[in-house]
Structure formats: C-alpha cells, structure tokens
Structure 1
Amino acid sequence: MTAGFTRSFTAEARHIDEMGHVNNAVWVQWIQDMATAHWDAMGRAEDREQFVWLVVRHEIDYRGNIDAGDTAEGTTWIEGPARGATSLRRVDFRNAAGKVIVSAATTWAMLDRESGRLARVRPEVLAPFL
C-alpha cells in the first residue's frame, strides 16, 4: 500500500435518499472528490498541467451508511504499479466508530490534456504518491 490521503465528509440533507441515508451516487461523487484532491495535493505541477485522469471502472462495496449530520472519514491510496495508461486507486470510508462502511476500487486512465489520448503512466508520475 502506498501513502494514504484523508478527508472528511459530512452528510447534508441534500445527500439523503428515500431510505434515510447517504445515496450511493453521493458516495461515488465523494470517491471522485477524494481522488481529485489527492492528485491536486500530491501530483507534481508539470504532471497536473500535462495530464488528466478519467474513471474507467468503479467497484464499490457498501457495508454501512451514515445519516444527515454524520461524518465519514475517507482515506485513498494508489494500489500497486500502473498498468499501461491505468492506475488502481482504493478508497475506504469509515464511520465515527472507525468501521469501514464503504470500500471502493476505482480504475483511472491517464490522458494527455492536449491530445486527449491515453498516456502511459510513467513511474515518476506516481512517485509522489508512494
């Protein structure tokens, strides 16, 4: 596992669905928000200028949920080396008791901003995340 990056998310009334807890689509948005914040915080400036990441696959396990006003702490990390133009990112969200309630494996593809084409993820691009 590489170095983790952590952020907290508080459920607002607008995040709550008819079941009375955070909607699954909100968790997906929070997963993307985590990845983007991690890239912005840790990526090298030249890489952030040259490349952009797009999700190509989400795999999410929902093991619990939170209610309006509750906070979940999300931790994300890069798992393993890149594979061509893709990289696997993990995200775990824990409730106030520390239990993992949502766990995700998300595959991201790196594209060259100028051409819009896939770009092989070089080791130096992921180095700041290790």
Structure 2
Amino acid sequence: MALPPSTGCVAASICSCLRSPPCGGLLRNRGTDMEQDTGHYVEYPHPIRAGPGAIDNLAHVNNAIYLMWMQEAIGALWRKTAPLGQVKALTWVAHRHDVVYNRPAVLHDLLIAVVRVTGYQSCCAQLETRFERHGKCVAMIKSTMICVDRASGQLKCIRPDLARHFRLFKDEAVATAGATS
C-alpha cells in the first residue's frame, strides 16, 4: 500500500518495504494511485540482441546477463518518463529479484525486455521484466527496486508525484521500439 501524501518516508533501517513480508513474497499494489489509473500504464518494450559477451559455456545467455539487461531496461524506462532533473538526482538500486527461466536464449537472438511497474510502497517500486522472443516468455524477473537520492545516498520516498513518471502512453511505448543495446 502506498503511503499517504502526508506521511514521510521512514529511515532506511526500518523502511517497511525493506523488511521481507511474513509470507516471503513480493509486495503487492493495493490502493495506490497507479492502481486507480491502470488504464494509462502500459508495458515498456526494450529490445536487446544477445551478443557474444552474453553467452556462457552452454551456448546460452548467461543467467547473470538477464539481471544486467533488466537493470538496463528499467533505466531506459526511467530516462524515458522522468524529467532530466529527477533522472540526475535519483537512482534505482536492486533490493530483491525473483527470476524464472523458461527457455534458453542463444547468440544473436532478439529479445524484447518488457518492463511493467506493478506497484510501489514507501521507497520501493515493484517491477516485472519479461524477456520475450517471438512472443514467448524466455525469462521473467520480479524485482523490488529502491529509490535513492544520488547526492545524499538516502532513500527517497515514492509519492504519487514521483510514481507518475512511470506512466507511459501507448504511442510513447511504440516510439521506443527502435532502441537497441
């Protein structure tokens, strides 16, 4: 659940989003502004070509590469949607990932990393990054990312005015499809 606008972010040592829920699962989007405005949020596609440096000794994309690509895709979404001042002032740091590998990707495969923000609470955002090849899911990563102020190193509370930058209209998402990494 998102904090109400009048509530401040708690200190890093007791930040509610950094404590694992009793069930051990990821946080869920319940009652946030994003949930109330889901019609305006779409998935952000970020194309990636598997090059020689991504391949391991089994001739597949190495598992660690998916995490690197996920961070790249989330960063691309942030740079696309947030004002330059916030892009320079804030960064996103990984707190937790849950990765599921469905099928191997190989050299020269064109994958689409599809990023979707699923919720936010306190200083954390929950995201899903799905790696697709020809419309089939190769791998899926559910992540909790922490918003950090670059200058102070302090956690930054994600309020609706900050979360709205993840809003991406369908025509903007389509315009990004030409990007490669």
- TM-score, length of structure 1 as denominator length: 0.92
Max Rg structure: 2
Gaps of 5+ in 2: 1-37, 168-181
Percent same amino acid among aligned pairs?
Answer: 23
Report how many aligned residue pairs link the two structures: 128
Partner of 1:88: 126
Q: 1:78-104: per-residue Cα shift (whole Å, max 9, x none)?
A: 102x211101011001112x1111101
Answering whether residue 41 of structure 2 is matched by residue 13 of structure 1, we say no
Q: 1:21-79: per-residue Cα shift (whole Å, max 9, x none)?
A: 10001111100100111101111233223211111111110001211111111110110
Partner of 1:56: 95
Answering whether residue 160 of structure 2 is matched by residue 123 of structure 1, we say yes
Give the residue type in structure 2 aligned to 1:32.
Answer: Q
Partner of 2:114: 75
Gaps of 5+ in 1: none
Partners of 2:87 and 2:49 in 1: CA distance: 28
Please state how far the C-alpha of 1:6 moved relative to its aligned partner: 0.7
**More helix per residue:** 2
Native 8 Å contact 1:3 1:129 kept in 2: no
Partners of 1:49 and 1:69 in 2: CA distance: 33
**More strand per residue:** 1
Could you say what the CA RMSD is over the residues aligned between the two structures, in angstroms? Answer: 1.3
Q: Secondary structure at the match of 1:79?
A: strand
